[in-house]
Structure 1
């Protein structure tokens, strides 16, 4: 007779839509006694205060939700956390550093689902920088949280090749889904986990900013394409032409320009099915763009409408 897995008393810390399937899996198999998210933020034209996706999902199902603006020196929240007495806490894209006094409350500490091959890409944007930097392999880790930024010991790891055309959205969801499997297995075996300490040195994956999506034509075509994959869906790839921003919705990787005379980066090579632009190394095919204030369109159609000619530069 197969024994039923233990139902743990769990507190969950997470905020964006990416974290909702993690909470959903925990809710199915365990007792989620508390959900902690970022505070409500203004959204929409009316700037109405709106809960983050994790809070909205949890509130719809009657789970207890707390949205503290800060955790450090928050005695009221610390008291509540101790009162609820979770056996273990789980974090997935929560977005705040957890203070030591909070980490000490659950008997089995905090487990974090982190989509990178730690100690590579500690920080808030690991998948994005994995792609931007052209990594061909990555991992998802289940880590015991400590007071550092993603520096705690690892209790489970799954490595995988990175698809050559995989975007940040696609890769992050694939890593998350495998991470859920690892997390559930770790929760079933909390008493016997064997954490492996991380080396102190690692790489940082800072939060993306709008300018991280700007196309720098002096980079190679492959570097621009890798960055394009990494900045999906936000901030997206873009360049400016005649003072207006043009978003690149779709592009393809390197075009061989071996039989083309040397051209300055950003120069239009040809306009047929795609708009081919010279870069600091090879050519890049722009397939679909969205000019400022307009709907997406084929890049070649936009180029013809803008009266571009081969030899013109996209500046």
Structure 2
């Protein structure tokens, strides 16, 4: 079983590792090396590092679409499958039609909900109680192809995007193996996606991470969880930026102004919201490490009465 794997970030690594153990991965496609760190030195993607460690040929086209040379390479490899996990490029129909059994994608949501670039973040931001992985047959749309298998994960009210990322990343490889074997053995019937419950999960950006304190404490809590640890939710405290990693919605009401710091203690920072009180438990200021509030206030002061915005 000859497989071309396409992926880039850390999320894709367990999937590639599982496929290497189970099949013949004849080539890996990943995004070009990018500047990273303070020195802005070029760094390989996690997928490229794993491929090189297994002596698998690596291709890094800036863009596959309309790149006749790279499309010819894919054709000459004669893959049974192309497997895509967070690659970062849209494949043209010319490439989708090359593999014997098709192009298979692992998507980190229960499709058709949360199609798009940031499904893990948005399902938590929106307060979902379950998520999971879906394997699908790729078409020219964005995460719109027929579905093969799904695997559900129950979500607690405290799970962060980073924690869900690791759960889905680690379980995705096994779902891909089951999907590939099921397709070859004619044991899986693809199911068309319905559009009645579809939603889109757009890419995150720093500007959107600013907390709106007029929202409810529950929604702000979900917002903080959903941005941890990628963008990290933030607010402005005394003309400076305070990043917030961890919080808790408290079943109390406040008559203070929205965004007001009501109380500061070892328990955390109580803030008045549009509905209820939010307890901030872990914070970070510029140039400092993230700290639990109880540790931060040992040598620093958070003023009560200041309005966050």
Instruction: State whether TM-score is above 0.5.
Output: yes
Structure 1 alignment gaps of length 5 or more: 1-7
- 294-303 or 205-214, which deviates more: 294-303
Other-structure match for 1:282:
276
CA shift, 1:93, in A, is 0.6
User: C-alpha deviations, 1:235-286, integer Å up to 9, x for none?
Assistant: 11211122211111322x211224x5x1221111111111111111111111
User: Counterparts of 1:312 and 1:25 in 2: how far apart (Å)?
Assistant: 51
1:40 aligns with 2:33: yes
CA shift, 1:211, in A, is 2.0
CA shift, 1:198, in A, is 0.8
CA shift, 1:189, in A, is 2.2
1:237 aligns with 2:233: yes
CA shift, 1:215, in A, is 1.4
Other-structure match for 1:291:
285
Query: How many corresponding residue pairs?
Result: 304
CA shift, 1:287, in A, is 1.5
Structure 2 alignment gaps of length 5 or more: none
Other-structure match for 1:185:
178
Other-structure match for 2:249:
254
Native 8 Å contact 2:28 2:57 kept in 1: yes
User: Counterparts of 2:173 and 2:54 in 1: how far apart (Å)?
Assistant: 20
Q: Work out which of the residue numbers 103, 114, 122 in structure 1 matches 2:107.
A: 114
Structure 2 vs 1, CA of residues 189 and 238 (structure 1 numbering), >3 Å: closer, same or farther? same
**Structure 1 residues 200-279: aligned runs within 5 Å:** 200=195, 202-251=198-247, 253-258=248-253, 260=254, 262-273=255-266, 274-279=268-273
**Structure 1 residues 1-315: aligned runs within 5 Å:** 8-191=1-184, 192=186, 193-200=188-195, 202-251=198-247, 253-258=248-253, 260=254, 262-273=255-266, 274-299=268-293, 301-302=296-297, 305-306=300-301, 308-309=303-304, 311-315=305-309
User: Counterparts of 2:132 and 2:291 in 1: how far apart (Å)?
Assistant: 36
CA shift, 1:181, in A, is 2.0
> How high is the TM-score relative to the length of structure 1?
0.92
Native 8 Å contact 1:275 1:303 kept in 2: no
Native 8 Å contact 1:113 1:142 kept in 2: yes
User: Counterparts of 1:275 and 1:29 in 2: how far apart (Å)?
Assistant: 50
User: Counterparts of 2:110 and 2:165 in 1: how far apart (Å)?
Assistant: 13
